[in-house]
Amino acid sequence: MLLKISKLKYLISLIFVCALMIQNGWSKSKNHYASSNIESALLSNAEAVIRLDSTYLSITASGYVLKSKKVITILKESGRRWGRFVEMYKESTKISDIKGKLYNADGEEISSLKKNELRDVSTFGNSFIFHNDTRLKIYDFDQRVYPYTVEFEHTIKSTENLFLPSWNIQSSTNLSVEKSVFVLSYPKNEQVKWRENNLPAQYTFNQNDKGNLQELKWEIENVLAYKQALLLENKTNDVSVDFVKESIVLGAYSGTSSSWNTFGNFFYTINKDRDELPDAMVAKIKMMTDTCANAKDKVAVLYQYLQRNTRYVANEYGLAGWQTFPASEVNKLGYGDCKGLANYMKAMLKAINIPSHLVLVSAGENSFVKMDEQFVRSAFNHMILCVLLDKDTIWVESTSSTNPIGYLGSFTQGRNVLLLTENGGIVAQTPYYDKNSSYLNRKIEIWIEPNADNHKLTWNTVYSGVLQDDLVSLYKIGAQSRIKNYQSMIMPYKVFNIANFETKFNEDPYTVPFLNEKIEMSAKQLTEHIGDQLLVHIPVKESLMSKIYQKEKRTVPFEFVIDKKHKYQFVINIPQGYKIQNIPTVASISKPFGKFEINPTEENNTLLIDVVFEQNAGIYDAKHYDAYNEMYQFVEEHFNSIQFMLKK
Amino acid sequence: MKPIFVLFFTCISLVSFSQPYKIESNKDSLMHYLNAKSNKLYPDANVEVLYEIGTTENVPLGDRTYNYEIAFKVYNAADIGDFADVVIPNVNNGIIKKITAICYNLENGKIVESKLEKENLLNDKLNNNVDVVKFSIPGIKDGSVVKYSYTCLNGYSKRKWIFQRDVPVAYSRFNYNTSTFSIITASAKTSVPFKTVENLKKLDASKLEAVSTVEKKTFNINDFENIEYRSWIRRNIAPFESEPLMEDENQLKDAVTIYFNGYSGEGFHRPLVVSWEEYNDKYWVKGNYQSVFSKNNFLNATVDNLVKSTDDTLLKIKNIFYYVQDNYTVNNNRIPIKDLLNAKQGSAGSINLLLCAMLRNAGFNSSIVLIANKYSDQLNPYLYNIEDLTNEVVSVEYKGTLFFMDASFKELPFGYLNSYLYNGYARVVNEVASSVELGTMLASNINNVNVNIEPIAEKNNEYSFSIKRSYGVYDAIAIRKLWKSDSSSFENTILDKGYDVTQKSGYHKESVVLENVNDLEKPLVLTIKGKMVIDANVNQLILDPFFVKPFTINPVNDNKDVKERKYDIYFDNVSRDNYTLNMKLNDNVTVEKTIPNTRFQFGKNGLIKYNQQVMYDQSRHSLLCKYNLENAAIMVPANEYQDLAGFYDEIIKNINQKIVIKNK
């Protein structure tokens, strides 16, 4: 009996233990998404943590299927955007099987996605594009009690494969990743290439044979959020893997991405035979150019015609995103997007037998999606034109209404581009406007008036190359109110009155453009009487260097995208009967990324102060960070105001 | 549709609206516009609207239509913004039809037309509720004259017409045609008062700059089928230009708004709202929100818990307010207060309804206050313009004083509303219904800065400094948000860029402390400590004693050379800036020059005044520098702009003076 009782006790204990184990196990699985399960290292600098990002990309002969599951814990208000389902699609893609769940901080499910509340919106109004087929599926649980976790699943089917989805591991510096898995599957008879961008060391990669399919699997855990550093090299933020399939399909067109040549041929084919113009227009073009002395002059005349008679309107609906509108259409409507206008220019040139090629380019000063010569994949967002003459290559930015012919500007300067020719794609390099072309020269002359605090000044500034890009548009086509705002913004004086200004533009064809701005004004509060002395205090407001101060040690490189050179000359006319008591000191500093010099001299009762600042484009290792701050402080110290005493 | 209605609408459409700017019908006139090189009054204008006409026809049982037509002259095609690319919204499954667009250009002395073709119309489904039709005007270039028009059927029904644009407008007209059966109130705001004429014929004949009419046309004995034609015309309207410290531009642009208030005819009168009192009872106290004004026993436990710890009545009220403010987050869902209590998240309105219910549950005299904020039209005691209501906040009475609060806004303490909510007339919703004037004088922002400077050892020009700034409630909003979003970046920014005068070289910041970030009852205090080296010139040290200045550029003109203003100068809160600097000087220096004391005020009543004092105390060898700027929440008429600008220039001049210290 005792035995029986003890057996019973044992049995009860066993049942109890089993029940506990089951309960614990169940509870663990139930609370898997509890925010308390997140390791503390992942919380640092993070506004959200990707608990799981699982993607299965299956590439087919002419398209792909992507299945995705994401679980994200939102830690605070600033991270709300990561808790929304936002998926982009186009006419060639279809999104289905959208599911979503919401979990509270304890990992308990509190809501699920309601299909009738899934929003389907156009992207119109969110960019400069007037018309396209890009739409978004959006769902927001509108949860505001933090932390909380969302789980979203969806499937995308695409009938095209020119643009394959990438594995974007960490799309923002303030996102941590607990686990991310990407599986790529494709038929063995197809060729797929990939490029790994800045993958942290801890990732794993496996290749598996699955019958007729090849399966590649990347996996990574514990990618930590980090603080954004200023002047960060753009590509540093890009932690991803990109894919490209050799046989490519876009709409009804197919081709290969085995080389830039074949890739270029694919786009050449898409845009072929769209450069015909009506006879009347051809006749008009001939009439306009008949009297030109040479081909370069003809190109210049037609570019001017393009600038005066067309305007930029982006219509990128479906294939129109990659295929130009026919030149005849642009001729009729007077507007087009970059492709349409470039192709229109090409058609006009063709009418007088000047050959040219459409050019694909990744435009933008800070774009990190740049054409990679080693990895044939579209990184393009813009089209320009290249005119190849016997001895000259002329680059044409067809969307600009202000550039002189042959000048591209900061938008497309100094980068690899793809010329689309009848012989396929040709990789070329656009011209770069270095600091000998892109500079600012400013002469500021001041007449000190000792008896009234109201001093005459003139500013005479030459902005050249990329430093004039934005200004030339402002001065040429901007409203007076915008011009006034700009001038007020650059003036360092507390009280001033601009009496007059004039601008001259260098519009000579085939030169680097410059803008000469002359401003006449008067300013107050530059002097103060102190006994028999006159304190002269001339403020300076030039942001020569960006501030990149951070308390933490800098670990990532910094980058200057453009070269620049600024020269200033202050000419300060001292009033009769006064002598300068103290001339500001000569100072200079030079570092690998730039240099600064200030050189004051006195000449015939005039104080001359020459200042030179140069910035060298490039990527600089974090070890230069202290030197950068040293130079920044130096420049701030020596160039924030000019102060000296005058005595009778 | 019944034949009688067909006849009825035919009659309506027979009433045409004349406009003086002939584009299509008069080639001489068109040629004149094509040859124009610039607008005579506004030569910098890129575009000039020649005419713009909107007509809303809104009749019971009939189609609702909105016809729009515009013609404009292009002076600078490169900078004409939305004029060239047209987007027509379409809501409620309406139909956009009769779209026409034509662009005229002069080529070799001949008029060339480019017409919009159907194939160039673009349709886009913006979201589940709104479609858009888009098109780009063909052939636009410098000198073009463009005309386009469309009709919106049973969709968008325009009831607010803004005459003024950012470009000059020669002629702008809004027509609103509805059955006499409808109760309509029109509210017009213009810089030139509308002169009312008897009928449409006289309106068309008039050349006045602002003219309007209401004409009733009888088509049938039944009021239901008779039409009231309302028209407003404005001519020669200047482009709208923003000015610093002006009211919201929606309050300033010339506009007319139509309010639909119900139906009325022979033998019946059915207004949507009879009076504010009726609205108070029918919709709120005995209507959808009667739960707020009920006993609400479900709140007992929560409320008891909040008030039981103190006998201080005001503290009880604050405990309830801060509980709701701290624990309830804002989303877009308006939910019943009972659900909200546990859900802890709901719309801003729901949260304030819950707060009101909790205060009432605790026995306080609390009400809901309905507000039209400064971005919409003000509430009107007689118009019952419920469509303009934008916010619901809460009032509570304590010792005979009404306190206002908004628990949905997380950065303001008890007793303060966001400054854009102080917009005059507001309705107080409770069992007795009343109104309150929420004037800007209730919004008070007081900044206090104390600076202490002590010499460091031997060097004559080296000192340690401590700046302690106590922020006013409104200035503290942005600082609290910055700190909460990333305190480390905030700290780095202060340490790097500095703080007013300390931005200059020679000021080395060593520590930044922000106090009371989460305690709204106490002022937000920022303390910066560091070392400074005063600018040296030969044997002199130049000291700028005012480390923190209320402004560095003139606030009424942003330092632009502006001779006059168009709009009144508007201060939306009471502000006071108090500054004190105490500086112990190094024994090895003497003060060569201080700054004279000044005191001046703007206007006879001294509603804006400035006082600056600098004293050198020889016995303590120290400097005391103070200023005090008081700015009342007032509207300064535009014609007093020069005086006010001069007043601020004088402050800038005085506050930028330097003290000269000399080595012994």
Residue A582 has its nearest CB partner, among B332, B537, B649, at: B537
Nearest to B540, CA basis, from A609, A531, A587: A531
pLDDT above 50 for A23: no
What dihedral do alpha carbons B32, B34, B37, B38 form, nearest 10°?
Answer: 80
Residue A494 has its nearest CB partner, among B345, B592, B652, at: B652
DSSP code at position A467:
G
The token pair at B363 is: 């026995």
Residue B46 with chain A: CB contacts under 8 Å: 477, 479
Q: Do A531 and B79 touch (CB under 8 A)?
A: no
ipTM of predicted assembly, 2 dp? 0.85
Check residues A164 and A233 and name the one with the higher pLDDT. A164
Helices A279-289 and A338-351, packing angle to 10 deg: 70
Extended beta strands in A237-346, E state: 239-245, 247-250, 253-256, 311-312, 315-316, 335-336
**Amino acid identity, residue B133?**
V
Query: To which residue do tokens 């139930």 refer?
Result: A30
Q: Place A648 in a pLDDT band, splitting at 50, 70 and 90.
A: confident
Nearest to B522, CA basis, from B352, B305, B322: B322
What dihedral do alpha carbons B20, B22, B28, B33 form, nearest 10°?
Answer: 90
Residue A498 with chain B: CB contacts under 8 Å: 561
pLDDT for res A144: 82
Peptide bond into A147 cis (omega under 30): yes
Chain A: give the shortest CA distance to residue B14, in Å: 35
Chain B: give the shortest CA distance to residue A582, in Å: 6
Nearest to B49, CA basis, from B131, B141, B158, B145: B145
Residue B167 with chain A: CB contacts under 8 Å: none
**B45 three-class SS:** coil
Residue A528 has its nearest CB partner, among B331, B485, B658, at: B658
DSSP code at position B282:
I
CA atoms within a 13 Å half-sphere pointing along the CA-CB vector of A214? 11
**A351 three-class SS:** helix
pLDDT for res B2: 40
Task: Determine the straight-line distance between the first and last CA of chain B, rounded to whole angstroms.
Answer: 100
Dump pLDDT digits (tens) for B319-371.
999 999 999 999 888 999 999 999 899 999 999 999 999 999 999 999 999 99
Nearest to B440, CA basis, from B459, B418, B423: B423
Q: How far apart are CA B75 and CA B239, in angstroms?
A: 15
* Strands lying side by side in the sheet with B424-429: B401-405, B391-398, B366-371, B424-429, B434-438
Interface test with B, best of A144, A529, A543, A546 (most B CBs within 10 A): A144
C-alpha A41: how far from chain center: 30
Q: Do B46 and A479 touch (CB under 8 A)?
A: yes
Positive/negative CA dihedral, A472, A475, A477, A481: positive
Beta pairing class for A579-580 and A641-647: antiparallel
pLDDT for res B64: 87
Dump pLDDT digits (tens) for A74-101.
999 889 999 999 999 999 999 999 999 9
* Strands lying side by side in the sheet with A135-139: A85-89, A135-139, A119-122
Nearest to A524, CA basis, from A609, A442, A580, A449: A449
Nearest to A176, CA basis, from A15, A32, A45: A45
Residue B596 with chain A: CB contacts under 8 Å: none
pLDDT above 70 for A226: yes
Q: Do B559 and A335 touch (CB under 8 A)?
A: no
Q: Do A643 and B537 touch (CB under 8 A)?
A: yes
Q: Do A494 and B552 touch (CB under 8 A)?
A: yes
pLDDT for res B294: 92
Dump pLDDT digits (tens) for A575-587.
999 999 888 889 9
Q: Which residues of chain B have pLDDT under 70?
A: 1-21, 60-61, 220-224, 458-460, 496-505, 535-538
Q: Place A18 in a pLDDT band, splitting at 50, 70 and 90.
A: very low
Q: How far apart are CA A422 and CA A434, in angstroms?
A: 33
pLDDT for res A367: 55
Q: How far apart are CA B262 and CA B184, in angstroms?
A: 8
Q: How far apart are CA A86 and CA A137, in angstroms?
A: 6
Nearest to B158, CA basis, from B223, B34, B82, B255: B255
- Mean per-residue pLDDT for A186-193? 94
Question: Which residue from B minimizes the CA distance to A491?
Answer: B559
Check residues A555 and A7 and name the one with the higher pLDDT. A555
Do A55 and A182 touch, CB atoms closer than 8 A?
yes
How many residues does the structure list for chain B?
A: 664
State the DSSP H helix or E strand holding residue A374, giving kind and residue range, or none if neither: none
Q: How far apart are CA B427 and CA B383, in angstroms?
A: 13
Q: Do A309 and B141 touch (CB under 8 A)?
A: yes
DSSP code at position A405:
T
Dump pLDDT digits (tens) for A43-81.
999 999 999 999 999 999 889 999 999 999 999 988 999
**Amino acid identity, residue A240?**
S
Q: How far apart are CA A629 and CA A624, in angstroms?
A: 9
Task: Tell me the H-state helices in B188-336.
Answer: 200-205, 249-252, 276-279, 300-307, 313-327
The token pair at A234 is: 């753009």
Q: How far apart are CA B610 and CA B410, in angstroms?
A: 33
Q: Do A497 and B652 touch (CB under 8 A)?
A: no
Do B428 and B631 touch, CB atoms closer than 8 A?
no
pLDDT for res B7: 40
Q: Do A637 and B506 touch (CB under 8 A)?
A: yes
Dump pLDDT digits (tens) for A451-480.
887 899 999 999 999 999 999 999 988 888
Do A431 and A414 touch, CB atoms closer than 8 A?
yes
Q: How far apart are CA B117 and CA A321, in angstroms?
A: 22
Dump pLDDT digits (tens) for A278-323.
999 999 999 999 999 999 999 999 999 999 999 999 988 888 889 9
Phi, psi of A148, rounded to the nearest 5 degrees: -145, 165
Question: Which residue from B minimizes the CA distance to A633?
Answer: B505
Question: Which residue from A minimizes the CA distance to B116?
Answer: A333
Q: Which residues, other chains included, contact A547 with Cβ-Cβ below 8 Å and sequence gap of 6+?
A: A230, A632, B496, B497
Q: Place A371 in a pLDDT band, splitting at 50, 70 and 90.
A: confident
Extended beta strands in B549-607, E state: 569-570, 574-584, 589-593, 598-602
Question: Which residue from A minimizes the CA distance to B107?
Answer: A309
Nearest to A50, CA basis, from A32, A31, A74, A78: A74
Query: To which residue do tokens 């679980």 refer?
Result: A71
Chain A: give the shortest CA distance to residue B515, in Å: 20
Buried b or exposed e, range B53-62, using 16+ CB within 10 angstroms: bbbbbbbeeb
Do A91 and A134 touch, CB atoms closer than 8 A?
no
How many residues does the structure list for chain A?
A: 648
Q: Do B537 and A645 touch (CB under 8 A)?
A: yes
Question: Which residue from A minimizes the CA distance to B591?
Answer: A530
Nearest to B211, CA basis, from B237, B193, B236: B193
C-alpha A254: how far from chain center: 30
Residue B496 with chain A: CB contacts under 8 Å: 547, 549
Buried b or exposed e, range B110-129, using 16+ CB within 10 angstroms: eeeebebeeebebebebeee
3-class SS string, A182-198: EEEEEECCCCEEEEEEC
**A319 three-class SS:** helix
**B662 three-class SS:** strand
DSSP code at position A376:
-
Q: How far apart are CA B322 and CA A14, in angstroms?
A: 51
Q: Do B538 and A581 touch (CB under 8 A)?
A: yes
**A46 three-class SS:** coil
- This prediction has a pTM of 0.87
Other C-beta atoms closer than 10 Å to the C-beta of B639 total: 10
Cα separations (Å) of B77 from A232, A401, B135, B642? 38, 10, 16, 36
- Mean per-residue pLDDT for A272-282? 97
Chain B: give the shortest CA distance to residue A49, in Å: 17
Extended beta strands in B430-502, E state: 434-438, 444-455, 462-470
Question: Which residue from A minimizes the CA distance to B332?
Answer: A142
pLDDT for res A484: 86
